[in-house]
A and B are shown apart, each in its own frame.
Chain A
Amino acid sequence: DAMVIQNPRYQVTQFGKPVTLSCSQTLNHNVMYWYQQKSSQAPKLLFHYYDKDFNNEADTPDNFQSRRPNTSFCFLDIRSPGLGDAAMYLCATSRASTGGVDTQYFGPGTRLTVL
């Protein structure tokens, strides 16, 4: 089945130690998104890639970076995690064209714990 895969499902890191979260997709979608979701809140968009074009949200801290080496993979890098970065990180994909953007499909998420 076509899907969005996130690895690992659970990640523990130390305060200030860089961490990378991974997302891959078999849907061949051209748009990939990273969201941060804290407890009992709606997901908050951090940034997205439209093909190779990177689009950062205005309020995303510089501590968060992303890479998309090819259509299928996208990475979230947290350069110096703080205690406030502990959250669920969700990857999503969609197909976009000149007519607009189709439904977003989400992965299962990576739960990040910062010690």
Chain B
Amino acid sequence: GNSVTQMEGPVTLSEEAFLTINCTYTATGYPSLFWYVQYPGEGLQLLLKATKADDKGSNKGFEATYRKETTSFHLEKGSVQVSDSAVYFCALTQGAQKLVFGQGTRLTINP
């Protein structure tokens, strides 16, 4: 079946550091890929998405490129801020109505 594997957390960085959170997936065909962010005590917010190979999703300085050849959708940001501290979930969906989530990566940014 479909699955998503994320980089183990927690991840702790200093403000203005470069961020990468790795995400790889297993799926047949061409899933849609998503990054969701969850701030403490809140629901999930869609951060970005990509629906086909080589698409790049971007939002709020975050980017991720749909790489079919490596089955990856790594999340990157060039300069993180304290306000980026949250849990990040990589997820996929394919045709059917279900989202398949990775385990989540907790990110803490120190000033």
Contact = CB atoms under 8 A, between A and B. Distances in A.
A107 B36 CA distance: 13
Interface residues of B, number: 22
B103 interface: yes
Interface in B72-107: 89, 93, 95-99, 101-104, 106
A41 B101 CA distance: 10
A76 interface: no
A106 B97 contact: no
A103 B34 contact: yes
A101 B95 contact: yes
Q: How large is the interface on A (under 10, 10 to 19, 20 to 34, 35 or more residues)?
A: 20 to 34
Interface string A56-82: 000000000000000000000000000
- Which 7 A-B pairs give the minimum distances between C-beta atoms? A42-B101, A106-B44, A106-B43, A109-B43, A108-B43, A101-B97, A100-B95
Interface of A: 4, 6, 31, 33, 40-43, 45, 48, 50, 55, 90, 92, 94, 96, 100-101, 103-109, 111
Interface of B: 32, 34, 36, 41-46, 49, 89, 93, 95-99, 101-104, 106
13 contacts: A40-B104, A41-B104, A42-B101, A43-B44, A90-B43, A96-B97, A101-B95, A101-B97, A103-B49, A106-B36, A106-B44, A108-B42, A109-B43
